[in-house]
Amino acid sequence: MHPASLIGQVLDQKYRIESQLGQGGMGAVYVATHLGTKRPVALKVIIPQYMAYSEFVERFRREAEAAGRLCHPNVVNVTDFGFATLGTDKLAYLVMEYLSGSTLGSLLKENKKLPLDLIVDIVEQICLA
């Protein structure tokens, strides 16, 4: 299953996948809508090929568990974890609060040199997390 083919699908009867935010080596992250609350969420999914490898699935589960224990204003909130089936593919997914805005990477691309007070503020927020 290609990550783009998930767009428009409903996962676990709870999350409608709207668009893809990014993709890494093991999976992809999407903007989805929680059908019960109509709130946007970020939904991370393991690429189906990796579901056959228990070590990848276990690593993903541990990531969800560890992230779910964190509670800090500077750390994204994890709200759900589970397994779902789409067609013949079984997927593991992790649901996080959706934060709109830009990334530090895009800020640095737009501004090659940041003011010192902004750099200190960013580093302080990272350290607090």
Alpha-carbon distance of 57 to 93, in angstroms, equals 10
Task: Name the strands in the sheet holding 78-86, side by side, starting at the edge strand that comes first in the sequence.
Answer: 10-11, 15-23, 27-34, 40-46, 89-97, 78-86
What parts of the chain have a pLDDT lower than 70? 1-4
The pLDDT of residue 18: 97
Count CB-CB contacts under 10 A for residue 17.
Answer: 22
What amino acid occupies position 9? Q
Place of tokens 């204003």: 73
Alpha-carbon distance of 15 to 43, in angstroms, equals 8
